[in-house]
Structure 1
Amino acid sequence: MSPIGVGGPELFLGAGDVYVALVRPELDPADPGVRLAAEQAGVSPEEFAGPGNIWALMLDDADGEGDGFELPGARDIEADDFAEQLQRALAAGGPFTAEAGNFLRLDARPAADTWQLTAHVTPPEGHDGAPRTLELGPLPTAELLADIEEFRSSLA
Protein backbone atom coordinates (compact mmCIF):
# COMPACT_ATOMS: atom_id res chain seq x y z
CA MET A 1 0.00 0.00 0.00
CA SER A 2 1.98 2.99 1.21
CA PRO A 3 5.57 3.78 2.04
CA ILE A 4 4.44 6.29 4.68
CA GLY A 5 3.64 3.81 7.46
CA VAL A 6 1.61 5.87 9.92
CA GLY A 7 0.21 2.89 11.82
CA GLY A 8 -3.41 3.76 11.09
CA PRO A 9 -5.61 3.84 7.99
CA GLU A 10 -3.94 5.47 5.00
CA LEU A 11 -4.84 5.90 1.35
CA PHE A 12 -1.68 6.57 -0.64
CA LEU A 13 -2.19 7.85 -4.18
CA GLY A 14 0.86 8.42 -6.31
CA ALA A 15 3.86 7.04 -8.09
CA GLY A 16 7.35 7.27 -6.67
CA ASP A 17 8.01 10.40 -4.69
CA VAL A 18 4.96 12.37 -5.91
CA TYR A 19 1.88 11.53 -3.87
CA VAL A 20 -1.04 12.58 -1.73
CA ALA A 21 -2.00 10.46 1.25
CA LEU A 22 -5.11 10.62 3.38
CA VAL A 23 -4.00 9.27 6.77
CA ARG A 24 -5.18 8.79 10.33
CA PRO A 25 -1.92 8.22 12.23
CA GLU A 26 -1.93 6.04 15.32
CA LEU A 27 0.99 6.18 17.71
CA ASP A 28 1.62 3.37 20.16
CA PRO A 29 2.36 4.79 23.64
CA ALA A 30 4.47 1.67 24.35
CA ASP A 31 6.77 2.30 21.36
CA PRO A 32 10.25 3.31 22.58
CA GLY A 33 10.43 6.19 20.10
CA VAL A 34 7.09 7.54 21.25
CA ARG A 35 8.13 7.20 24.90
CA LEU A 36 11.37 9.10 24.23
CA ALA A 37 9.60 11.84 22.28
CA ALA A 38 7.00 12.17 25.06
CA GLU A 39 9.73 12.44 27.67
CA GLN A 40 11.48 15.14 25.64
CA ALA A 41 8.17 16.97 25.26
CA GLY A 42 7.48 16.68 29.00
CA VAL A 43 4.20 14.78 28.65
CA SER A 44 3.03 11.21 29.22
CA PRO A 45 3.36 8.76 26.31
CA GLU A 46 -0.45 8.44 26.22
CA GLU A 47 -0.88 12.19 25.96
CA PHE A 48 1.83 12.41 23.29
CA ALA A 49 0.23 9.62 21.23
CA GLY A 50 -3.12 11.35 21.35
CA PRO A 51 -6.49 9.83 20.57
CA GLY A 52 -5.53 8.48 17.13
CA ASN A 53 -8.61 9.95 15.48
CA ILE A 54 -7.18 13.01 13.73
CA TRP A 55 -7.12 12.78 9.94
CA ALA A 56 -4.39 14.47 7.93
CA LEU A 57 -3.47 14.97 4.31
CA MET A 58 0.19 14.53 3.42
CA LEU A 59 1.78 15.30 0.07
CA ASP A 60 5.06 15.48 -1.76
CA ASP A 61 5.63 16.99 -5.19
CA ALA A 62 8.13 16.49 -8.03
CA ASP A 63 10.49 19.04 -6.45
CA GLY A 64 10.60 17.09 -3.18
CA GLU A 65 8.50 19.76 -1.48
CA GLY A 66 6.56 17.88 1.17
CA ASP A 67 3.71 19.25 3.22
CA GLY A 68 0.89 18.06 5.34
CA PHE A 69 -1.93 19.36 7.45
CA GLU A 70 -4.51 18.14 9.90
CA LEU A 71 -8.14 17.94 8.85
CA PRO A 72 -10.06 19.10 11.90
CA GLY A 73 -13.47 17.50 12.13
CA ALA A 74 -12.82 14.86 9.44
CA ARG A 75 -14.27 11.48 10.37
CA ASP A 76 -13.80 7.88 9.25
CA ILE A 77 -17.18 7.90 7.49
CA GLU A 78 -16.08 10.79 5.26
CA ALA A 79 -12.82 9.03 4.38
CA ASP A 80 -14.77 5.89 3.54
CA ASP A 81 -17.25 7.88 1.42
CA PHE A 82 -14.35 9.35 -0.56
CA ALA A 83 -12.80 5.90 -1.09
CA GLU A 84 -16.17 4.48 -2.17
CA GLN A 85 -16.59 7.39 -4.59
CA LEU A 86 -13.19 6.49 -6.10
CA GLN A 87 -14.07 2.79 -6.38
CA ARG A 88 -17.33 3.49 -8.19
CA ALA A 89 -15.74 5.97 -10.59
CA LEU A 90 -12.81 3.67 -11.41
CA ALA A 91 -15.21 0.80 -12.09
CA ALA A 92 -17.25 3.02 -14.44
CA GLY A 93 -14.12 3.50 -16.55
CA GLY A 94 -14.56 7.08 -17.75
CA PRO A 95 -12.94 10.35 -16.75
CA PHE A 96 -14.13 11.61 -13.36
CA THR A 97 -13.62 14.06 -10.55
CA ALA A 98 -13.77 12.98 -6.90
CA GLU A 99 -13.71 15.33 -3.93
CA ALA A 100 -12.75 14.89 -0.30
CA GLY A 101 -14.19 17.90 1.46
CA ASN A 102 -12.82 21.21 0.27
CA PHE A 103 -9.18 20.16 0.68
CA LEU A 104 -8.68 17.52 -2.05
CA ARG A 105 -10.03 17.15 -5.57
CA LEU A 106 -8.87 14.37 -7.89
CA ASP A 107 -9.31 14.58 -11.64
CA ALA A 108 -8.83 11.19 -13.29
CA ARG A 109 -8.42 10.10 -16.89
CA PRO A 110 -8.21 6.46 -18.02
CA ALA A 111 -5.38 5.30 -20.28
CA ALA A 112 -5.35 1.57 -21.16
CA ASP A 113 -4.94 -0.26 -17.81
CA THR A 114 -3.77 2.83 -15.91
CA TRP A 115 -5.20 6.09 -14.63
CA GLN A 116 -3.66 9.54 -14.79
CA LEU A 117 -4.62 11.32 -11.56
CA THR A 118 -4.23 15.02 -10.94
CA ALA A 119 -4.60 16.10 -7.31
CA HIS A 120 -5.68 19.63 -6.44
CA VAL A 121 -4.87 20.27 -2.78
CA THR A 122 -6.21 23.26 -0.86
CA PRO A 123 -4.86 23.58 2.69
CA PRO A 124 -7.39 24.53 5.36
CA GLU A 125 -7.65 28.08 6.64
CA GLY A 126 -4.80 28.88 9.00
CA HIS A 127 -2.27 26.65 7.20
CA ASP A 128 0.68 28.48 5.66
CA GLY A 129 0.82 26.39 2.49
CA ALA A 130 -0.59 27.50 -0.84
CA PRO A 131 -2.92 25.42 -3.02
CA ARG A 132 -0.99 22.85 -5.05
CA THR A 133 -1.57 20.70 -8.12
CA LEU A 134 0.25 17.37 -8.40
CA GLU A 135 0.38 14.91 -11.31
CA LEU A 136 0.16 11.49 -9.63
CA GLY A 137 0.12 8.99 -12.45
CA PRO A 138 0.05 6.88 -14.40
CA LEU A 139 -1.25 4.46 -11.79
CA PRO A 140 -2.25 0.85 -12.57
CA THR A 141 -6.00 0.27 -12.22
CA ALA A 142 -5.67 -3.05 -10.38
CA GLU A 143 -3.24 -1.54 -7.86
CA LEU A 144 -5.48 1.47 -7.26
CA LEU A 145 -8.52 -0.71 -6.66
CA ALA A 146 -6.58 -3.02 -4.30
CA ASP A 147 -5.23 -0.05 -2.30
CA ILE A 148 -8.68 1.50 -2.00
CA GLU A 149 -10.18 -1.83 -0.85
CA GLU A 150 -7.40 -2.28 1.72
CA PHE A 151 -7.99 1.27 2.97
CA ARG A 152 -11.72 0.72 3.31
CA SER A 153 -11.11 -2.57 5.14
CA SER A 154 -8.80 -0.78 7.60
CA LEU A 155 -11.67 1.56 8.48
CA ALA A 156 -14.11 -1.26 9.26
Structure 2
Amino acid sequence: MKIHFVFVGKTVFPEMQRGIDRYLKRLDHYVRVEVHVVRAERVGPKADEKMVLEKEGRRIVNLVSGRGVLIVWDEKGTALTSQEYAHVLQRLHHGGHDVWMILGGPLGLSHEVKRTAHHVFSLSAMTFPHDLARLMVAEQTYRALTILRGEPYHKS
Protein backbone atom coordinates (compact mmCIF):
# COMPACT_ATOMS: atom_id res chain seq x y z
CA MET A 1 0.00 0.00 0.00
CA LYS A 2 1.14 3.50 -0.77
CA ILE A 3 -0.41 6.55 0.87
CA HIS A 4 -0.66 9.70 -1.20
CA PHE A 5 -1.39 12.99 0.55
CA VAL A 6 -3.01 15.56 -1.73
CA PHE A 7 -2.81 19.12 -0.42
CA VAL A 8 -4.18 22.26 -2.04
CA GLY A 9 -1.53 24.97 -2.00
CA LYS A 10 1.61 25.30 0.06
CA THR A 11 1.75 25.02 3.82
CA VAL A 12 1.87 28.59 5.12
CA PHE A 13 3.44 28.14 8.56
CA PRO A 14 6.97 26.68 8.65
CA GLU A 15 6.40 25.18 12.11
CA MET A 16 3.39 23.26 10.77
CA GLN A 17 5.43 22.05 7.80
CA ARG A 18 8.11 20.76 10.18
CA GLY A 19 5.45 18.80 12.07
CA ILE A 20 3.97 17.41 8.86
CA ASP A 21 7.43 16.40 7.65
CA ARG A 22 8.13 14.71 10.97
CA TYR A 23 5.06 12.47 10.70
CA LEU A 24 5.56 11.78 7.00
CA LYS A 25 9.09 10.61 7.78
CA ARG A 26 7.75 8.38 10.56
CA LEU A 27 5.09 6.99 8.21
CA ASP A 28 7.79 6.05 5.74
CA HIS A 29 8.82 3.24 8.12
CA TYR A 30 5.43 1.54 7.55
CA VAL A 31 4.26 2.44 4.05
CA ARG A 32 5.44 4.28 1.00
CA VAL A 33 4.36 7.92 1.16
CA GLU A 34 4.05 10.54 -1.53
CA VAL A 35 2.88 14.15 -1.24
CA HIS A 36 1.15 15.94 -4.11
CA VAL A 37 0.57 19.69 -3.88
CA VAL A 38 -2.17 20.94 -6.17
CA ARG A 39 -1.87 24.58 -7.16
CA ALA A 40 -4.27 26.78 -5.20
CA GLU A 41 -6.25 29.52 -6.86
CA ARG A 42 -5.76 33.08 -5.66
CA VAL A 43 -8.49 34.12 -3.27
CA GLY A 44 -8.95 37.85 -3.15
CA PRO A 45 -11.80 39.96 -1.82
CA LYS A 46 -13.63 39.75 -5.16
CA ALA A 47 -12.95 36.06 -5.78
CA ASP A 48 -15.83 33.82 -6.78
CA GLU A 49 -15.41 31.11 -4.14
CA LYS A 50 -17.47 28.56 -6.06
CA MET A 51 -15.29 29.06 -9.14
CA VAL A 52 -12.12 28.74 -7.04
CA LEU A 53 -13.34 25.44 -5.57
CA GLU A 54 -14.31 24.13 -9.01
CA LYS A 55 -10.91 24.93 -10.52
CA GLU A 56 -9.02 23.38 -7.61
CA GLY A 57 -11.42 20.44 -7.68
CA ARG A 58 -10.76 19.74 -11.36
CA ARG A 59 -7.03 19.67 -10.65
CA ILE A 60 -7.55 17.18 -7.84
CA VAL A 61 -9.88 14.93 -9.84
CA ASN A 62 -7.46 14.93 -12.79
CA LEU A 63 -4.68 13.85 -10.43
CA VAL A 64 -6.51 11.10 -8.52
CA SER A 65 -9.14 9.76 -10.93
CA GLY A 66 -9.11 5.96 -11.04
CA ARG A 67 -5.87 5.66 -9.07
CA GLY A 68 -6.90 4.03 -5.80
CA VAL A 69 -9.14 4.61 -2.80
CA LEU A 70 -9.96 8.27 -2.22
CA ILE A 71 -10.37 9.53 1.33
CA VAL A 72 -11.55 13.11 1.65
CA TRP A 73 -11.15 14.95 4.94
CA ASP A 74 -14.04 17.37 5.47
CA GLU A 75 -15.72 18.83 8.55
CA LYS A 76 -19.03 17.27 7.45
CA GLY A 77 -17.55 13.80 7.05
CA THR A 78 -17.91 10.77 9.31
CA ALA A 79 -16.15 11.11 12.65
CA LEU A 80 -13.89 8.20 13.57
CA THR A 81 -11.92 7.19 16.61
CA SER A 82 -8.23 6.51 16.08
CA GLN A 83 -9.00 2.78 16.42
CA GLU A 84 -11.73 2.94 13.76
CA TYR A 85 -9.43 4.81 11.41
CA ALA A 86 -6.76 2.15 11.97
CA HIS A 87 -9.24 -0.56 10.96
CA VAL A 88 -10.17 1.35 7.79
CA LEU A 89 -6.50 1.52 6.81
CA GLN A 90 -6.06 -2.16 7.66
CA ARG A 91 -8.92 -3.16 5.31
CA LEU A 92 -7.47 -1.00 2.55
CA HIS A 93 -4.00 -2.46 3.11
CA HIS A 94 -5.35 -6.01 2.86
CA GLY A 95 -7.13 -5.02 -0.34
CA GLY A 96 -3.80 -3.88 -1.78
CA HIS A 97 -5.12 -0.44 -2.61
CA ASP A 98 -3.19 2.79 -2.82
CA VAL A 99 -4.84 5.38 -0.60
CA TRP A 100 -5.24 9.03 -1.56
CA MET A 101 -5.80 11.39 1.40
CA ILE A 102 -7.31 14.59 0.06
CA LEU A 103 -7.35 17.81 2.07
CA GLY A 104 -8.62 21.11 0.75
CA GLY A 105 -7.23 24.58 1.02
CA PRO A 106 -8.67 27.54 2.92
CA LEU A 107 -12.03 27.23 1.14
CA GLY A 108 -12.33 23.47 1.48
CA LEU A 109 -13.12 21.09 -1.38
CA SER A 110 -15.54 21.15 -4.29
CA HIS A 111 -18.65 18.98 -4.37
CA GLU A 112 -17.12 17.12 -7.32
CA VAL A 113 -14.15 16.01 -5.22
CA LYS A 114 -16.41 14.93 -2.35
CA ARG A 115 -18.63 12.98 -4.78
CA THR A 116 -15.69 11.04 -6.21
CA ALA A 117 -14.43 10.02 -2.75
CA HIS A 118 -14.85 6.48 -1.47
CA HIS A 119 -14.81 7.79 2.12
CA VAL A 120 -15.40 11.23 3.62
CA PHE A 121 -14.02 11.52 7.14
CA SER A 122 -13.91 14.35 9.64
CA LEU A 123 -11.22 15.27 12.12
CA SER A 124 -13.81 17.12 14.20
CA ALA A 125 -17.07 19.01 13.93
CA MET A 126 -14.92 22.12 14.39
CA THR A 127 -13.16 23.92 11.56
CA PHE A 128 -9.35 24.01 11.56
CA PRO A 129 -6.84 25.98 9.49
CA HIS A 130 -5.82 23.82 6.54
CA ASP A 131 -2.18 23.71 7.71
CA LEU A 132 -3.25 22.29 11.06
CA ALA A 133 -5.60 19.79 9.38
CA ARG A 134 -2.67 18.50 7.30
CA LEU A 135 -0.61 17.97 10.43
CA MET A 136 -3.51 16.24 12.18
CA VAL A 137 -4.18 13.85 9.29
CA ALA A 138 -0.48 12.97 9.05
CA GLU A 139 -0.33 12.36 12.81
CA GLN A 140 -3.55 10.33 12.89
CA THR A 141 -2.36 8.21 9.98
CA TYR A 142 0.89 7.53 11.83
CA ARG A 143 -1.08 6.76 15.01
CA ALA A 144 -3.33 4.34 13.10
CA LEU A 145 -0.36 2.41 11.75
CA THR A 146 1.22 2.16 15.20
CA ILE A 147 -2.10 0.84 16.54
CA LEU A 148 -2.10 -1.85 13.85
CA ARG A 149 1.46 -2.84 14.79
CA GLY A 150 0.67 -2.90 18.50
CA GLU A 151 3.30 -0.25 19.18
CA PRO A 152 3.07 1.88 22.34
CA TYR A 153 2.53 5.30 20.67
CA HIS A 154 -1.27 5.28 21.11
CA LYS A 155 -2.61 5.50 24.65
CA SER A 156 -6.31 4.76 24.91
**TM-score of the alignment, normalized to the shorter chain, above 0.5:** no
User: Rg larger in 1 or in 2?
Assistant: 1
Q: TM-score, normalised by structure 1?
A: 0.24
Q: TM-score, normalised by structure 2?
A: 0.24
Higher helix share goes to which structure? 2
Higher relative contact order (CA 8 A, sep 6+): 2
Higher strand share goes to which structure? 1
